[in-house]
Amino acid sequence: MKTILLKLFVSLLITSCTSDESQQPANNDNMDNINPSVTSKDTMSTDGVQNVTVSGNENEYTFSVTVKSPDTGCDQYADWWEVIDLEGNLIYRRILVHSHVNEQPFARSGGKVSITSKQQVIVRAHMNTSGYLPQVSKGTVANGFSNEAFDTKQFEDAAQKGNLPTNCAF
């Protein structure tokens, strides 16, 4: 009996360690009917964009972006993620209306992102107090996205363009 229980325990332990659950974005707002067509590898190594999943059709894609940020409350939180082209032009910005202190990393979706499937873009996240986070995801819908370190000061002027947050809910 002990041998059977031990084998069952080891089997459950192995199954839980190899589960894909860690690859799933946390708290998927507006994600109920999205079938991901492209996803980046989830690294969760440094603050910034951890994962990008894209679905939809050309020039009206929905992006789901997983962000890891050092949120402490409204005094310090990730206030948006955005899609920019390689020249730093703002294509799309998803405003985040509250902090995510107890939800790290977290995922939020947004769109319609008007790009072609082969247009290379950068997806990055912004903190209300310190600016852009160092890890971004770069790539195309057609070929996928990969995470990389990025100069947080590069294309910093985009932070003054487009929709900006007006307040923090909590």
What is the domain extent for residue 77?
25-158
pLDDT score of 45: 59
Q: pTM of the predicted model, to two decimals?
A: 0.75
Contacts of 37 (CB under 8 A, 6+ apart): 54, 55, 56, 141
Q: How many domains does the chain have?
A: 1
Query: Average per-residue pLDDT in the chain?
Result: 80
Over the range 115-153, which residues count as b (16 or more CB within 10 Å of their CB) and which as e?
beeebebbbbbbbbeeebbebbbbbbbeeebebeebebe
pLDDT over 70 (residue 13): no
Is 125 part of a structural domain of the chain?
yes
Q: Is the dihedral of CA 71, 77, 79, 83 positive or negative?
A: negative
Residue 113: give its domain's CATH number.
2.60.40
Is 102 part of a structural domain of the chain?
yes
Give 3-state DSSP helix, strand, coil % of the chain, rounded to 5: 15, 40, 45
pLDDT over 50 (residue 1): no
pLDDT score of 14: 31
122 versus 22: the higher-pLDDT residue is: 122
Is 101 part of a structural domain of the chain?
yes
Phi-psi sector, 15: left (phi>0), alpha (psi -120 to 50), beta: alpha
What mean pLDDT do residues 111-135 have? 97
Per-residue pLDDT tens over the stretch 66-120: 999 999 999 999 999 999 999 999 999 999 999 999 999 999 999 999 999 999 9
